[in-house]
Amino acid sequence: MTTGPLLMGVVNVTPDSFSDGGRWLEPDAAIAHGRELLAEGADILDIGGESTRPGATRPLLEEELGRVVPVITALAAEGATISVDTMRAEVAEAALAAGARILNDVSGGLADPRILEVAAAADVPYVAMHWRAHSDHMRDFATYDGPGGVVGAVCDELGARVDALLAAGIRPERIILDPGLGFAKGAEHNWELLAHLDRLAALGYPLLVGASRKTFLGRLLADDSGSPRPVDQREAANVALTTELARARVWGIRVHDVRSSRDALRVVARLEQEGAR
């Protein structure tokens, strides 16, 4: 029985994602990886066909559709709960038709406002992430000089997105918010947001957090020369963060290595069970 946050296992059907670009590009490989993540304890599979790493360029619509629809179709047919990671209304529509049940839009409707209409009409959960610009130039927007700093800005800007979602007809109980770690944010911005998740939770909506394998963890673990820890060697730090996110009562945690995060959640749940006696 699942306790604590939901674990959203990442299936990148892309050639250029920062963590595992190309490993699951072919449909059969992506489907097999999705099955593996489910066996390891994933509650949701987040399937995306567009890399959003810093500097990434966007695929054509046809490319994104060709990457995600076959994978969603196969895994949804096997009973998996599928989230589609997309900023495009056309991809959202096709993914829902293929069996997806959650829309995870890193732009929160800013990249393609029509996706909000799709979410409202389908009446499915919609994840709105804090976002300021596409990946190829988002670093230009990593400035938070207002009196509330990055936490105040993210709260204000996500609040504005909530207003837009509600105006589009998305029901409040379908809205999930994501602080957007690494998106138009430096390492210190990410740590500050993680330390003040209570401020984001005060907006009144469940939170999804995705920190897995991101650069700010690599920089925290840098070697003596200042070189960040390689992507595939950051999991222990991510497990520690998963533990803290569980204690913060977030709704979901987006991860690449499901098994280790599931183990961490089991430890937290067992300790809380003991403490409740």
Catalytic residue among 88, 161, 213, 214: 214
At residue 82, φ and ψ (nearest 5 deg) are -110, 130
Q: Are the CB atoms for 24 and 11 separated by under 8 Å?
A: yes
Residue 137's alpha-carbon distances to 55, 64, 69, 133, 215, in angstroms, are 7, 20, 28, 7, 17
> What strand order describes the sheet that includes 175-178?
175-178, 126-129, 102-105, 82-85, 44-48, 6-12, 252-255, 208-209
At residue 107, φ and ψ (nearest 5 deg) are -95, -5
Query: Could you give the CA distance from residue 66 to residue 244 in angstroms, rounded to a whole number?
Result: 37
State which amino acid sits at residue 44. Answer: I
> How many residues belong to the chain?
277
Catalytic residue among 67, 132, 254, 262: 254
Burial code (b: 16+ CB inside 10 Å, e: under 16) for 102-112 equals bbbbbbbbbbb
Q: Look up 214 and say whether it is catalytic.
A: yes
**Of the candidates 176, 180, 96, 177, the residue with the CA atom closest to the CA atom of residue 141:** 180
Indicate which residues carry an active-site annotation.
Answer: 214, 254
